[in-house]
Homo-oligomer: A and B are copies of this chain.
Amino acid sequence: MDKDGKIGIGLLGLGVVGAEVARMLIQKSERLSQKAGRPLFLCSVLVKDMAKPRDSVVPPRLLTTNPADILNNPQVDVVVELLGGVKPATDYLRTAIAQGKHAVTANKEVMANHGPELIRLAEEHGVNLLYEASVGGGIPIIGPLQKDLLANEITSVHAIINGTTNYILTKMSQEGMDFQVALRRAQELGYAEADPAKDIEGVDAAFKLAIVAALAFHTKVAVSDVYTEGISKLTARDFLYAQELGYTIKLLAIARRIGDGLSLRVHPAMVPNEHLLSKVDGVLNAVEIEGDLVGRVVFHGQGAGPRPTASAVIGDILEVARSIASRRGPARSGTVDGGLRILPMEEMITQYYARLTVSDRAGVLAQIAKVLGDLDISIASVIQKNADAARQTAEIVVMTHPAKEAHIRQAVHQMETFGVVRDVSNVIRVEQWT
């Protein structure tokens, strides 16, 4: 802060989000300063390459390639980290906080992996560390969990939290596209990266779930605690059957409290068509939070993109500025211990859809039923169709009643080594809200 009480902002990164944040800070400076209660000014922006041609409103004199120009700059009150990736972003945030600077980040990977450490460090140094933009773009999720919904004991979180996969699944569901075709379409539109693995394998969603679950359940969550399964095994046939059964297939990120345990998982799930989450289409995101008082609330909107993400980043900058302006200490957090243990995936109980290719002969269903019955898995419904005369096979779709994941895995294993079942083509978990 300079002697006139202006609040200095240092930006790490000038990618698409950084450019939008910088544009706002420069072009809407007066309006944002009114909202902040203090003048805001952009001091300095860290870039990788000074020479890179950029279509940005940032005056070249503010650019630097030396992180110390921001991290050690006494004019900088708030460091805004928009680099992405764990390194060197985590180190820069550590340094900034240790120097007594407030920090704002949009970095899900940093917050999922190093969030607890950085939050503790920020508390020790009496500064804010805000990260609304790390989950769900501009959709308020972190703020409501920290404040508006804090009175609740949260019982579950169900989220469609990755726009790339939701776009692909929407295309597969509504237009009967195959996975590879839908992925290519997403890449053409810039919704998926050239290397789409982090999105389609559910890793991006797992980062975000780890962040949200830690906050919602006051529990330490590691990314490795989240069971993660992607969408690449889904086929157009699964969408046809889902429709027939009254479901839509979505990549859900789920955190659910069961007794004193916490189940954490990202996987394709059948969502009943009546449920609001089944209606979230395209690149949109939605997060449903269930609390003991509030019941279910759903937050819906654009989960990515430079402007929505800038909305969250600048919202956090304004929050920091207002805390400085009213001489407040930072918002407190983390003193509550949820005391929950992370449940192993094998213990999870839900309904399952299984699509099997079987020999087209009498008694096959009875044999399948026996395998399932012996493992305590009871069948809710069966669809049998599409006999393939040439190959002498038929397709059977089984929906189970709630069963244990461990038992389902055993059943799949047994069926795969089973003469009459040619192939367990897919197994999809069915999410039920009661």
Q: Is the interface of A mostly helix, strand, loop or mixed?
A: mixed
Q: Within the complex, what minimum Cβ distance (angstroms) separates A11 from chain B?
A: 15
CB contacts (< 8 Å) of A329 on chain B: these are 326-328
Residue interface mask A268-311, B partner, CB < 8 A = 1: 00000000100100000000000111111111111000011011
Say yes or no for A35: interface residue by CB 8 A criterion.
yes
User: Chain A residues in contact with chain B, CB under 8 A?
Assistant: 20, 24, 31-32, 34-35, 37, 132, 137-140, 143-144, 147-153, 276, 279, 291-302, 307-308, 310-315, 317-319, 322-323, 325-332, 335-336
Chain B, Cβ-Cβ closest to A307: B293
Taking a contact as CB atoms under 8 Å apart, the answer to whether A319 and B32 are in contact is no
A379 to nearest B CB, angstroms? 32
> Which chain B residue has the least Cβ–Cβ distance from A327?
B329
Residue pair B152, A297 in contact (C-beta under 8 Å): no
* A174 smallest CB distance to B (angstroms): 12
Contact check, B308 vs A301: say whether CB atoms are below 8 A apart: no
| Distance to closest chain B CB from A133 (angstroms) | 10
Q: Is the CB of A308 within 8 A of B328?
A: no
Asked if B151 and A143 make an inter-chain contact with CB atoms under 8 angstroms apart, the answer reads no
Question: Are B319 and A291 in touch, CB under 8 angstroms?
Answer: no
10 intermolecular pairs with C-beta atoms under 8 Å apart: A32-B151, A137-B294, A138-B294, A139-B297, A140-B149, A144-B148, A296-B301, A298-B300, A326-B330, A327-B328
Give 4 new A-B contacts, CB below 8 A, not counting A34-B335, A35-B151, A151-B313. Answer: A139-B294, A151-B318, A291-B311, A327-B329
